[in-house]
Amino acid sequence: MPKRPKRHIKPNLHAINPDALPRDPGAHAETSMAKFRRKVEDWSKMNPNELEAAVKEFEAKEVESSRVLAEDSIYQMDVSLRTRQQSAVRVFWKDVDVQPLEKYEGWYSILLDGRKVRAFESTQILAVPNEEMAYCCAKEYSEQSEYLNKLLMPMTDICSGVQHIAPQMISPRIDYLMSFYQNDNMYFRSAPIAAMQNKLISPVTEWFSRVFEIDVPIVVGIGDPHISPNDVLKVRDHLLSWSMNPYQIVALCVATQFTSSLILPLALFHGVVDLPTALRINRSEEGHNINEAGLIEGYHDIREADVTTKISACALAWKLMKDVDLARCFEVLRTSPLDEVDAI
């Protein structure tokens, strides 16, 4: 009996083209030692009571951060970054499809030979509240060969990560993002290419300054941007006021992690810069270093491909999912399996 030909999903989605993202405006640079010295200097000026309060606040933040990171690993998309193990899934399916999810109007599941797929690292059915996003995930499954390569499935990875987020876990992720804001890559310039960086980054920082009503510092070389606690709280409260849904939160966390910047992904997602420009900004300093010292094959090229894939996926996920109501994202249970009997 001849084998059935593999079906390739080719959804006609204009949004899947990164160049179609809106263009109209709408590695921490500070070294660990420099940050440590700054903290020591700040603490040395405190009286005993203030110092004790600062230590307790620091310990509380560390405990909260550890708790969040222990409960899920979506910040660095660890699921996708794992190498294939002996237990990796062999590609056995011939047909990939999308269908509405029973009992949940407006939700969709991905089918492999008629069976629903589970979210990565979960017993739950992968459920998506947007048909276009579901087809993006289906496209990733249809392109797999031999073994499932999660590194090449960033949209499925984002949707899987979202299913680990409960409503009360959104605020800690905003706090996590603020750690990047205090030493955002958009503050820093490399002296040899400072003029070029200023030209690229200025539209980004000017937009951020206007929207958040906060001055954005410029530091040439290594230095302290001196971000005040009041500015941190102001940005945090502004982000919380947006009531971002879990898909936006995951996309922002991942893009921030891969750019060491909160400001750049926000500007990209809001159409201040297009995707090619955002990628150029992100790799400007490393690109200069490569031109000066040379490319390390198997490191720089692979990392660049991975970063490009992740940032592109995050931008597309934000574009497709930004209008999904926050409450609707929690219609499907976060912790209980859905229809596990016939799932892959």
pTM: 0.74
- Does residue 72 fall inside a structural domain? no
- Does residue 34 fall inside a structural domain? no
Q: What is the pLDDT of residue 84?
A: 44
- Does residue 20 fall inside a structural domain? no
Asked if 236 and 338 sit in the same domain, the reply is: no
Asked if 237 and 278 sit in the same domain, the reply is: yes
Asked if 119 and 209 sit in the same domain, the reply is: no
For residue 177, give the CATH number of its domain: 1.10.3580.10
Asked if 133 and 196 sit in the same domain, the reply is: no
Tell me which residue range forms the domain holding 309: 166-328
Q: How far apart, in Å, do the first and last CA atoms of the chain sit?
A: 25
Are the C-beta atoms of residues 50 and 44 closer than 8 Å to each other? no
Asked if 131 and 115 sit in the same domain, the reply is: yes
- Does residue 303 fall inside a structural domain? yes
The domain total for the chain is: 2
CA distance 182 to 185: 9
Residue closest to 245 by CA, chosen among 167, 127, 332, 326: 326
Asked if 295 and 171 sit in the same domain, the reply is: yes
CA distance 18 to 274: 8
Q: What is the pLDDT of residue 260?
A: 94
The residue ranges of the chain whose pLDDT is under 50 are: 6, 10-32, 72-86, 335-341
CA distance 265 to 278: 8
- Does residue 51 fall inside a structural domain? no
Q: What is the pLDDT of residue 57?
A: 81
Q: What is the pLDDT of residue 67?
A: 56
The tens digit of pLDDT for each residue in 171-214 reads 999 999 999 999 999 999 988 888 999 999 999 999 999 999 99
Q: What is the pLDDT of residue 14?
A: 41
For residue 135, give the CATH number of its domain: 3.30.2180.10
The 3-state DSSP class for residue 340 equals helix
Asked if 151 and 196 sit in the same domain, the reply is: no
The 3-state DSSP class for residue 108 equals strand
Q: What is the pLDDT of residue 33?
A: 55
Asked if 320 and 262 sit in the same domain, the reply is: yes
Asked if 216 and 127 sit in the same domain, the reply is: no
Whole-number CA gyration radius for the chain: 22
- Does residue 27 fall inside a structural domain? no
Asked if 114 and 189 sit in the same domain, the reply is: no
